Structure 1
Amino acid sequence: MKPSHASAFPRKRRLSPPLMERIQDLVAAGTNIFHHEKKPCWPLNSFVNRTALHALEPDAGSPPSHAWRRKLDSHANFLKEFTLTFMETFRMIRLGLRVWQYARSERAKGRKAPIDPFRTGPKPVASNGVPLGGMGGGSINRGFRGEFHQFQLLPGVCKEEAVPGNQFSVFVSRTNGRRYSSVLATGMSEHKWKKDDSMGVGSWDWNLDGQHCSYHALFPRAWTIYDGEPDPELKISCRQISPFIPHNYKESSLPACVFSYTIVNTGKEDAAVSLLFTWTNSIGGNSEYSGGHYNCPFVEEDGVRGALLYHKTGNGSPLTFAIAAQEKPDVSVTVCPTFSFVGKKKCVSSKQMWSQMKEHGSFAPRNWDLKPSPPSSQGSSIGAAVAAKVIVPSHEKKHVVFALVWDSPEVKFVKGKSYHRYTQFYGVDGKAAKNLAHDAICGYQEWEQEIERWQSPTLNDENLPEWYKVTLFNELYYLVGGGTIWTDGLGPVKKNMKDEEDDQSSSTSYYSDDVPSDPEDCLEAKQVSHQAREIGSGLLNNEDVNKATVCASGIISSSPDSHPGQDSSSDMPPIVTVKSLSEIKKSNSTTSFQLLHGTSLLRDDEENVGQFLYLEGVEYLMWSTYDVHFYASFALLSLFPELELSIQRDFAAATLSHSNEKVQFLAEGETGIRKVLGAVPHDLGLHDPWNELNAYNLHDTSRWKDLNPKFVLQVYRDFVATGRKSFARAVWPAVYTAMAYMDQFDKDRDCMIENDGFPDQTYDTWSVTGVSAYCGGLWLAALQAAAALAVVVDDDNAAKHFRSKFSQAKKVYEKKLWNGLYFNYDEGTVGRSTSIQADQMAGQWYTRTCGLPAIFDDYKARRALQTVFQYNVLMMNDGKMGAVNGMNPDGSIDDSCMQSREIWTGTTYAVAAAMIHEGLVEEAFRTAEGVVRAGWSNDGFGYWFQTPEAWTASGEFRSLAYMRPLAIWAMHWALYPPKTVLEAPVVPSMEKDEELHHHVDFTRIAEVLRIIPKAQAESFSALLQSLYECVCRRRNIQ
């Protein structure tokens, strides 16, 4: 089945039923529905004068009515990084020492630690703008003042510093003899090189003041308006367009960006205007000086021509930039394929290049015939330039189009490599740059039509406040600028594949979809396919296979002919027989195994749109961190549902994997194993994603209480949203196993899980004990979701079991935590146990998102969220900063740990979404507005296009550019649920009081999945192997 494009942009949108009822009540009472002023936050007339607007309209170069705006002469303030209090430092000093030691050891190996607070870099500033490029092929940020920085062209690498030579410039010559020239940027003019670089970029004209220039951002587009600078009688608009097109899985993957210029001459004389695009052969940092780079001109069809810049990267992966413009009858394009910034001069200097432009407004036509330049020497820096010249008659306008693309087919990790998604359409030979440039220039107008069609319904919705509409789209920057990688989905390719094949000729794989249901067929199931051997997945040797086979004959095996939903009534042997135990104890296996990747869960008739990775944060280097994706995933599900399903398949496969690799967990200094069968991983890894899971090593996340419930909830939500029953069936074994794994955390057998007195959830410095509001609520929601999903896959016994557990667990939860106003943080006895947690209704929120029955009655749900609003929101700077995570009942901030006193941006959006679902519309928008005021407003902290995970009451940030703020799309999901959710079959209430239903299969698997004592961890690997096979057989659901 191929991704559907028909419903990409629905014509009609419907509010959720609870919201419609609440709005009707508010309207009847004469209330302002969304509690916002009509005055826009970023009024267009305050940034661009009417003369300029009139001159540009109705051209597409005119800035939109709704956008985030900034003057180019605005100073980019330094951002304040968070600091620990004395007590926090004292409590975390041992952790800090272990983190420092681990980070140092990783650096010695030439690798990065996933979390390294000691990593040095440039001091962050409030200068970001809309990033360039589509999704998953690398990105470059262009700051609102014109600088190109934050180069993310290699996996997990972000080069923050701006590259001075990457600029647009303008040269104007009028018939009356007046001349003007300037770089079209203000962000670089203050740099020290301007004073001492007489032959490089310091020799250029930096005449732009920026006082009358403005920047307008509405992701994935941005407009920069140069109103009378440098020529008082010239209005210039630069429109930046990247191919971020919802439900489009081709163009959205392209590493390309177009800059469309509109030039308006308001003077009485004709003007010869030349626009210059210069680019350094650099991927950021000091890479331009590494040597071995070269450039050459190129000419394509349809007038597209420019320069190719071949860059030799440190790890050998090829990368080629192309800068280009389109020649038309009224636009002439010339090129300077190579000039030198610094070092040995084998070509013209940047000063000579600039002088030639000032004198002629173009380069020599013969430059198109130049051969590739000699490779640059180490210490030298070269660049290329493309100039487009046009005559603009008096009181007329002209258009010039440029493109920037980069072609880097390989996605090279520390171990192995894959290929970018766009190589499916452009090949992997590294020669696609000029084709990408051509297609971008010739196709960008279609991109814009699709973008406008997608955004218009929201932008034209008068019920929504401007700040919400603008921020809703601008927070999507993270899907491009969050280190995203979109591969072709064909799996990683190892070096020396023949050698890998020889080494693994006796290995086994679990790639096959046809896992036999009879234990006698185990050996056949373990035969490795040629494809799997090539890819080199983690496998078993023959000795391990034999031991696992002995094991498999004595454990957890239902009758092969029985339906997965049926309990076997026969007398089963104990979970592990005496014979199998003796075999296991003889084994000293270090077995690791996995289901390869999530793409193996696709049916033959389902299109493989690739695999998608994005970092938890630009500073937190872990791919697709799952406890955070729980919040962020609404953006992908709303706009690119096939990628969201791909991520869930990857985590389903990862849940059914096991790795005995030893890892030190830094919080306590203890040693454990990397990945436990049945535990949903924290992330998909860093150095070898999909294979080496759980790069996070502060805690042992196999003991976390939120990851497994979050997996179950997301799977069910995604099934309801897409209606893909094939997806539900494919991932059901992982869901079933994830639920069984959680059974071990119900220590008193009352059906409710308990936390273990350490930070065993996404708030990973905030300890929690016993039944807790956050994890307990997620568990209740997961029980409902698992029961509903079991019905979908016809596993009736499992459905009945989960429903009965829900009924019992809910009583425990409410009895232990409800205090009449809200649910206590946990059932502990210390003071923090009565803390008011902003995120306490996360479980209820998720049940609402996918049409499940509410966990709590309306009074409790609304009362708890109203308490959060009154305490966590309004008592935090009068609601102008977002919701603080923890607030004491006396109105003081919970400062029991670092995270309890923080405001989490993504959590605030999620709390607002929960409020919308419960009809608290006014409170929801007031809550979310605090994040926008603090992070995005012109008088806020300056976190635009780098929204951090958290800030404190004083505005100090932690972890810039973070995944979780994408949760603003959960608000939109609550306001306008998809048609599939609104029209999904009603799930019956699970409130009825019924005795606990015992499910023998579930109990057996849950028993074996209990965390094995350290002393037995290795000897139990064969047992886990056979359990894995048993679970995989549950895929054969008819």
Structure 2
Amino acid sequence: MAPLGLSALRSLLRRSSRPQAWTPPEASWSRPFGLGWDQPYTVRYASNLDDGPWHGMPLGGFGAGCIGRSSRGDFNLWHLDGGEHWYGTIPDCQFALFESNGSSQRAHALAVKPEADASRPNSAEPLAAWDWYPASTPERSTGTYAARYPLSWTHYEGVYDAEVSCEAFSPILPGDYQRTSYPVAVFRWTLRNPSDQPLDLSLLLSWRNTVGWFFNTDPSAEVHFRDDGSPEHNYAPAIGQGEGQRNRWLDQEGVRGIVLEGQRSEPIGEGQGQWCLAVPDALEGVEVLRCSRWDPTGDGQELWQSFAAEGRIPNSNNDRSSRAGEQASAAIALKFTLAPGESREIPIAISWDLPVTAFATGVRDLRRYTDFFGADGCNAAALAAEALRDWRQWRDQIDAWQAPVLARQELPEALRMALFNELYDLASGGSLWTAASGKDPHGRFGVLECLDYAWYESLDVRLYGSFALLQLWPELDKAVLRSFARAIPAADATQRPIGWYFTQGRGRVEADRKVKGATPHDLGAPNEVPFDATNYTAYQDCNLWKDLASDFVLQVWRTFKLAPTGEDLKFLADCWPAAVQALHYLKRFDVNNDGLPDNGGAPDQTFDDWPLKGVSAYCGALWIAALEAALAMAQRLQQELGLDTGSDQHTFSAWLEQSRSNFDRLLWNGEYYDIDAESGTPVVMADQLCGDFYARLLGLEPVVSEANSRSTLKAVKESCFEKFQGGSLGVANGLRRDGTPLDPNGTHPLEVWTGINFGIASYYRLMGEGQTAEAICSAVVDQVYSGGLQFRTPEAITAVNTFRACHYLRAMAIWGLWATHTDWQRIPGAERG
């Protein structure tokens, strides 16, 4: 079977045994229900994460932990421990549907048959008594999964007489710093009887009690190096531990359901708290059945026998605590009849209250949603009650904020789809969002660079990937940059080995973790003390990087100028001292006194496996743009706040004049810019003028002339895009002018970096070359969304169908396309702060 591209999938999804097939909503990613991939992308390095292609949209608020349901109907992503990853299907976490038309009946769990129970390694066939929903084949669709974050839809067809659809979402609302943090998912079921006979239906939700599972049982979280030289730590969650768990009925105004609880320490520990399964208490004509406890470790007959026979489950409120070795699941069934032509809408909420995120021994943070619901871990029911009360309003707000993007019909549908769906990483990228404090009124926020490189908010990566946060949740973008501003003056002389030297066979080379004045690469890792212990990565010595200080200054000015909430002088003033210190530190590396910092010969910038020597186009252009931004900052702060920035203006002006006078002289070759001044490497570096892009975007003096910019973009397009796999993959990082590789076994130069491509495309768009921008983005989006990489977009893909570093932060750079259109509307709600 040949791989199915996006257009072929659309065609298949429109075939059905029914006269009118369900059509996926506009600008959504869709897939026939349960249809596998023939040749999905696979991981490049054996040590890197590869869960396979069965990923769907995450559910849950930013920093609240999230769950994911795939296109085969299973819940398989469990990011409930801050910054950590656990993937696996728990078969009894599932919806099911019973139907009787008077002459025949059927019941299926609404997922394809699971291979194994991920919570019980080496176990027998899970829930062998259950009947599972049939998967689609290339010839026949049994349903469709579609997603346009934060909305997803599952439509079932050709199996039941009833028309059955489920829409799932969480209240991810731009500019709303309360509801976007909620740990809750709403499932809006729509069932219609198109036949001429009454249909008896029963909708079932079963859920495992996982309270106490999601914390690291390895307190050392020992760090070691992967085969690619990057550090990682051991994560051993307490999966399957059920002792002390109990489930009980919930009956309160507006809500009926079941609360799932577990053992607690004092104070409450990580992974402790509650889950809640809830439905409205006033569902006219619906019989609500609840089984508070059943055993999911057997064949499932205990629950399934009566459900498959008549749509009923044991109605019992058994709240005893589990003994060691026991597991406890709970279930709700909603039984009702649909007359011919009748339809019914049923909302179901799943919420969780796991308020604590723990890091190094004794270090813990409360999640942001606890500012609104308290921190005792007893508020899952309150979360579910608000969801069932307000879900229609939330749904309308989602429509409102997505409308301006959907309306831009001149942008290809696949790119509008990706604009929404790449936002998934703000929920499932190990995001951390703490409770507010006087110093941080919106809390502290961070997203991992990726799950393989598990440290927060890598500054060089977020130079590209933070465009989404800036435009939709600008106060969170400011929170991240304030964290960097606080970290720049700090120092940590702890010595640690640098991984790159190991990969080069050069033995053990050590460096300080953090030098005072150096801009940190990241805000730390989930196994240490995020925000306070920065520079977790040790693949390179980040104190030597030549792009980080410029990245910081440019992002501060960008956020000040472009945030939909307007210019925030206090934010600018808060970051100004760190910006000055960072630029002075970076100027130390101007070894030739030509005004431009010199790269040191080891990889010392975002392409951290790609050595540059002397002045480089990439770092030099960013430096010039950052000096322009610093001068603009200084002038505004002096004019409007009365700060004395005259001395800094004088210094930066002198540096800028010298830098500009030497940049073209050292690097311009008449057609494009050499990668650097000293290595003699004869390649066209695709992202060589990122600094010029930023300067132009922010209304600063461009780094290079328009003629040089356009000539460079022409060379990049021809060499790195059109001559690399015919443009079908995207832009390679660096090739010879004729499109051939300098080193056929090279790493970074031969990779297509998704976020870099979106950034380069935004530069083309800014320069009025919209067709090229769309061609680049379309190539990358097609590879990701037809290659089984959806909702785990990697940093890099290759021409041999491999990827590296999934769930990558930089891919949200696709929102640079929106930022480069001044006539495009701002997103409703994002202007709130």
User: In 2, are the aligned partners of 1:304 and 1:441 still within 8 Å (CA)?
Assistant: no
Q: Which deviates further from its counterpart, 207-216 or 956-965? A: 207-216
- Asked if 1:353 is matched to 2:307, the reply is no
Read off the aligned partner of 1:287 and give its amino acid letter: I
Q: Which deviates further from its counterpart, 613-622 or 40-49? A: 40-49
Q: Residue in 2 aligned with 1:911?
A: 760
User: In 1, are the aligned partners of 2:451 and 2:806 still within 8 Å (CA)?
Assistant: yes
- Asked if 1:298 is matched to 2:147, the reply is no
Q: Residue in 2 aligned with 1:101?
A: none
Taking a change above 3 Å as real, the CA distance of residues 866 and 199 of structure 1, as seen in their structure-2 partners, is closer
TM-score w.r.t. the length of structure 1 is 0.71
Q: Residue in 2 aligned with 1:10?
A: none
Alpha-carbon deviation of 1:190? Answer: 8.3
Read off the aligned partner of 1:443 and give its amino acid letter: D
Match of 1:238 among 143, 152, 166: 166
Instruction: Report the Cα distance in structure 2 between the residues aligned to 1:979 and 1:270, rounded to whole angstroms.
Output: 48
Q: C-alpha offsets along residues 672-711 of structure 1, whole Å, 9 cap, x if unaligned?
A: 2221111111111111111211110112101100110000
Q: Residue in 1 aligned with 2:615?
A: 771
Instruction: Report the Cα distance in structure 2 between the residues aligned to 1:140 and 1:977, rounded to whole angstroms.
Output: 36
User: In 2, are the aligned partners of 1:341 and 1:383 still within 8 Å (CA)?
Assistant: yes
For 1:143-542, list aligned pairs within 5 A: 143-174=70-101, 176-186=102-112, 188=114, 201-210=127-136, 211-229=141-159, 231=160, 233-282=161-210, 283=213, 287-310=239-262, 317-327=271-281, 328-342=283-297, 350-365=300-315, 367=316, 370=317, 372-378=319-325, 380-415=326-361, 416-490=363-437
Alpha-carbon deviation of 1:635? Answer: 0.5
User: In 2, are the aligned partners of 1:78 and 1:125 still within 8 Å (CA)?
Assistant: no
User: In 1, are the aligned partners of 2:289 and 2:333 still within 8 Å (CA)?
Assistant: yes
Taking a change above 3 Å as real, the CA distance of residues 777 and 444 of structure 1, as seen in their structure-2 partners, is same
Q: Residue in 1 aligned with 2:555?
A: 714
Instruction: Report the Cα distance in structure 2 between the residues aligned to 1:401 and 1:324, rounded to whole angstroms.
Output: 9
Q: Residue in 2 aligned with 1:584?
A: none
SS in 2 for 1:759: coil
SS in 2 for 1:667: helix
Instruction: Report the Cα distance in structure 2 between the residues aligned to 1:311 and 1:244, rounded to whole angstroms.
Output: 31
Q: Residue in 2 aligned with 1:109?
A: none
Q: Residue in 2 aligned with 1:69?
A: 30
CA RMSD of aligned residues (A): 2.7
Taking a change above 3 Å as real, the CA distance of residues 342 and 40 of structure 1, as seen in their structure-2 partners, is closer
Point out where structure 2 has 5 or more consecutive residues left out of the alignment. 215-236, 502-507, 639-644, 828-833
Instruction: Report the Cα distance in structure 1 between the residues aligned to 2:807 and 2:123, rounded to whole angstroms.
Output: 33
SS in 2 for 1:236: strand
Q: Which deviates further from its counterpart, 281-290 or 845-854? A: 281-290
Q: C-alpha offsets along residues 379-416 of structure 1, whole Å, 9 cap, x if unaligned?
A: x3221111112211112211111111111111111240
Match of 1:703 among 519, 544, 549: 544
Q: Residue in 1 aligned with 2:230?
A: none
Read off the aligned partner of 2:567 and give its amino acid letter: G
Match of 2:471 among 638, 655, 669: 638
Match of 1:936 among 785, 790, 808: 785
Between the two proteins, the alignment pairs up a number of residues equal to 773
Q: C-alpha offsets along residues 474-522 of structure 1, whole Å, 9 cap, x if unaligned?
A: 11111111011111133xxxxxxxxxxxxxxxxxxxxxxxxxxxxxxxx
Q: C-alpha offsets along residues 912-942 of structure 1, whole Å, 9 cap, x if unaligned?
A: 00111111111111111110121113xxx22
User: In 1, are the aligned partners of 2:485 and 2:579 still within 8 Å (CA)?
Assistant: yes
Alpha-carbon deviation of 1:83? Answer: 4.6
Alpha-carbon deviation of 1:209? Answer: 3.3
User: In 2, are the aligned partners of 1:186 and 1:208 still within 8 Å (CA)?
Assistant: yes
- Name the larger-Rg structure: 1
Alpha-carbon deviation of 1:890? Answer: 2.9
SS in 1 for 2:348: strand
Instruction: Report the Cα distance in structure 2 between the residues aligned to 1:142 and 1:662, rounded to whole angstroms.
Output: 43
SS in 2 for 1:663: strand
Instruction: Report the Cα distance in structure 2 between the residues aligned to 1:889 and 1:168, rounded to whole angstroms.
Output: 55
Q: Residue in 2 aligned with 1:885?
A: 733
Instruction: Report the Cα distance in structure 1 between the residues aligned to 2:600 and 2:123, rounded to whole angstroms.
Output: 61
Instruction: Report the Cα distance in structure 2 between the residues aligned to 1:215 and 1:965, rounded to whole angstroms.
Output: 23
Q: Residue in 1 aligned with 2:233?
A: none
Taking a change above 3 Å as real, the CA distance of residues 459 and 311 of structure 1, as seen in their structure-2 partners, is farther
Percent pairwise identity: 30
Alpha-carbon deviation of 1:82? Answer: 4.8
Read off the aligned partner of 2:279 and give its amino acid letter: A
Match of 2:690 among 834, 842, 853: 842
Taking a change above 3 Å as real, the CA distance of residues 255 and 303 of structure 1, as seen in their structure-2 partners, is closer
Taking a change above 3 Å as real, the CA distance of residues 961 and 53 of structure 1, as seen in their structure-2 partners, is farther
Q: C-alpha offsets along residues 858-887 of structure 1, whole Å, 9 cap, x if unaligned?
A: 111111111111111111211111110011
Read off the aligned partner of 1:47 and give its amino acid letter: L
Instruction: Report the Cα distance in structure 2 between the residues aligned to 1:826 and 1:55, rounded to whole angstroms.
Output: 56
User: In 1, are the aligned partners of 2:116 and 2:123 still within 8 Å (CA)?
Assistant: no
Q: Residue in 2 aligned with 1:512?
A: none
Q: Residue in 2 aligned with 1:582?
A: none
Read off the aligned partner of 1:206 and give its amino acid letter: W
Question: Is the helix fraction higher in 1 or 2?
Answer: 1
Alpha-carbon deviation of 1:63? Answer: 4.1
Read off the aligned partner of 1:305 and give its amino acid letter: G
Q: Residue in 2 aligned with 1:517?
A: none
Read off the aligned partner of 1:706 and give its amino acid letter: D
Q: Residue in 2 aligned with 1:924?
A: 773
User: In 2, are the aligned partners of 1:276 and 1:386 still within 8 Å (CA)?
Assistant: yes
Alpha-carbon deviation of 1:853? Answer: 2.1
Q: Residue in 2 aligned with 1:676?
A: 515
Instruction: Report the Cα distance in structure 1 between the residues aligned to 2:675 and 2:19, rounded to whole angstroms.
Output: 53
Instruction: Report the Cα distance in structure 1 between the residues aligned to 2:257 and 2:206, rounded to whole angstroms.
Output: 14
Match of 1:955 among 794, 801, 805: 801
Read off the aligned partner of 2:306 and give its amino acid letter: Q
SS in 2 for 1:137: coil
Alpha-carbon deviation of 1:228? Answer: 2.7
Taking a change above 3 Å as real, the CA distance of residues 979 and 280 of structure 1, as seen in their structure-2 partners, is closer
User: In 2, are the aligned partners of 1:388 and 1:400 still within 8 Å (CA)?
Assistant: no
Q: C-alpha offsets along residues 279-304 of structure 1, whole Å, 9 cap, x if unaligned?
A: 11235776124533222221232244
User: In 2, are the aligned partners of 1:773 and 1:825 still within 8 Å (CA)?
Assistant: yes
User: In 2, are the aligned partners of 1:281 and 1:311 still within 8 Å (CA)?
Assistant: no
Alpha-carbon deviation of 1:322? Answer: 1.2
TM-score w.r.t. the length of structure 2 is 0.88
User: In 2, are the aligned partners of 1:489 and 1:611 still within 8 Å (CA)?
Assistant: yes
Taking a change above 3 Å as real, the CA distance of residues 965 and 894 of structure 1, as seen in their structure-2 partners, is farther
Read off the aligned partner of 2:586 and give its amino acid letter: M
Q: C-alpha offsets along residues 50-82 of structure 1, whole Å, 9 cap, x if unaligned?
A: 8969698xxxxx742331110014114575545
Instruction: Report the Cα distance in structure 2 between the residues aligned to 1:975 and 1:683, rounded to whole angstroms.
Output: 30
Taking a change above 3 Å as real, the CA distance of residues 757 and 193 of structure 1, as seen in their structure-2 partners, is closer
Alpha-carbon deviation of 1:441? Answer: 1.8
SS in 1 for 2:360: coil
SS in 2 for 1:341: coil
Instruction: Report the Cα distance in structure 2 between the residues aligned to 1:406 and 1:190, rounded to whole angstroms.
Output: 25
Instruction: Report the Cα distance in structure 2 between the residues aligned to 1:171 and 1:962, rounded to whole angstroms.
Output: 40
Q: Residue in 2 aligned with 1:621?
A: 454
